Amino acid sequence: MCLAVPGRVVEIATEDGFLFGRVEFGGVSKRVCLEHVADVRPGDYVLVHVGFALARIDEVEARRIFEFLASASALAELDEAGAEPNDDDGADRDRTAD
């Protein structure tokens, strides 16, 4: 499974014949290839995967994704805090003692 993260394009430039830009992700900006979204403009939101903008999205969709990622992060923090696995059926028990 792949994860594309939304970011806001802050500037655009052509480098060696390819379209690149600075994309901001919650205060952090990264250099991103914009070749797949050649009609993008500064202020637009894009979905970025491994340094490539794959699609342009509107601000409402970007905010929905930000909210989802924040809720997923909160769930992961709960898990890391030591939530015990569900032992209703005993599936998580150590089987080496048999």
CA distances from 54 to 20, 29, 45 (A): 13, 17, 11
Give Cβ neighbours of residue 22 (< 8 Å, ≥ 6 apart). 9, 10, 11, 29, 30, 31, 32
- Amino acid of residue 2: C
pLDDT in tens, 4-19: 899 999 999 999 999 9
- CA dist 81 and 57 (Å) reads 34
Q: State the pTM of this model.
A: 0.72
In a domain, 64, yes or no: yes
The gap from C-alpha 89 to its chain's centroid, in whole angstroms, comes to: 35
**Which residues of the chain fall below pLDDT 50?**
85, 87, 89-90, 92-93, 95, 98
> Domain range for residue 50?
5-80
In a domain, 31, yes or no: yes
Q: Domains in the chain: how many in total?
A: 1
In a domain, 19, yes or no: yes
